[in-house]
Amino acid sequence: GEVVAVTVGKASAEATLRGVLAMGAARAILVKTDAQFLDSELTAKALKAVMEQDGLPDMIFTGKGSVDTESFQTQYRLAKSLGLPIVNEVSKLTLDNGKAVAERETGGGEKQVIEMGLPCVIGATKGLNEPRYPKFPDIMKAKKKEIRQMDLSIFGIDPSKGRVRVEKLEIVPERSGAKMLSGSVDEQVTELVRVLKEDEKVL
C-alpha cells in the first residue's frame, strides 16, 4: 500500500504537501482554488472527485476539524458522499481481521471503542500517533517528488456556489481573571448566582 496526501487549497498549500512527502507519503495531490474559504460541502465534493479518479483508499484520515474555520463538517460530508462509516476524534486505532477498531474519548474520563469495516474515514486527534520528523535527506527527496496539481474547476465545482459563507472572523476579547468569592457557603452561592445573572448574563 501507499500513503497519498490530498488537499484542496491555494497554490501555497504545495509547501504543506512537501512537508508531508518528507514525512513519508508516497505522493501528493493538490486541488487548486483561489478561494480564501471553500465551504465544507464543496471541499468534500472535491475530495470525493479526486478519490473517484485516483482510486478509493482503504482508509481516509482527516483532522478532527479544519484549523481555519473549525467547521468540523468536511470529514462527515465526505464519508456520507462515499457511503463510508466514520469516527471522529480518534485517539487510538488498531486493525483486526480487516476491520478498524477506533477509540475515542467522550468526556468525563470515559472512552468509546468502535469497530467498523474498511474502507472508512478516521478523524484523527492528538495522541493517535507520534509525528515522524523528517531528516534532511528526506526533505531534499521531497523537493524532487512530483505533486499532481489540478484545478477545482475540472470537477465542475464553483467556489461562488457554496451554500455556507464565512462572514467574518474575529478575536474573542480577553477576559479578566477569576473572581474569588468569600463568606459562608450560602453567601457564596447567592453571590455566584448574582454574578451569573447580572455580570455574565448567562442565567
Tens digits of pLDDT across the chain (203 residues): 899 999 999 999 999 999 999 999 999 999 999 998 889 999 999 999 999 999 999 999 999 887 776 778 999 999 999 999 999 999 999 999 999 999 998 888 899 999 999 999 999 998 898 888 899 999 999 999 999 999 999 999 999 988 888 788 788 787 767 778 888 888 888 988 888 888 877 77
**Cα gap 8→16, rounded to integer Å:** 11
Nearest Cα residue to 148 out of 21, 27, 8: 27
Classified as helix, coil or strand, 105 is strand
Is residue 120 within 8 Å of 85, Cβ to Cβ? yes
Nearest Cα residue to 118 out of 58, 67, 158, 163: 58
- What are the residue boundaries of the structural domains of the chain, listed by start? 4-161, 175-203
* Distances from the Cα of 34 to the Cα of 9, 55, 151, 167, angstroms: 7, 26, 10, 17
Element (H, E) at 166: none
Question: Residue 47: which residues within 8 A CB-CB, separation 6 or more?
Answer: 6, 8, 31, 74, 78
The sign one gets for the Cα dihedral 8, 11, 13, 17 is positive
**Cα gap 135→164, rounded to integer Å:** 41
**CATH tag, 4-161:** 3.40.50.620
What pLDDT does residue 118 have? 97
